Amino acid sequence: MDEKYLEQASELEQARRDEALRLFRARAASGPGRDDCEDCGEDIPPARRVAAPSAIRCVACQALHERRPR
């Protein structure tokens, strides 16, 4: 494979990691989790917020998010 494409792929992967880390830090700075799901807007059940204090999605939306191709 051409080194140019490998370098571009590496840079893209690093940019995605940097963005994910930036979002994580921003969410962490805003306090523990959310009361409502970031995707559907429904309330996140208290038991989930206790089990996963930094949760930003309800269980159903989190499962869909994890199955999405990257």
Predicted local confidence at residue 34, as pLDDT: 74
Task: Tell me the per-residue pLDDT of 7-50, one tens digit each, with 9 for 90 and over.
Answer: 999 999 999 999 988 887 876 666 666 789 999 999 999 999 88
Chain centre to alpha carbon of residue 40: 15
Predicted local confidence at residue 65, as pLDDT: 95
* Domains in the chain: boundaries: 1-30, 33-70
Mean pLDDT value of segment 59-67? 95
Predicted local confidence at residue 30, as pLDDT: 63
15-54: burial string, b at 16+ Cβ within 10 Å, e else: eeeeeeeeeeeeeeeeeebbeebeeeeeebeeebbeeeee
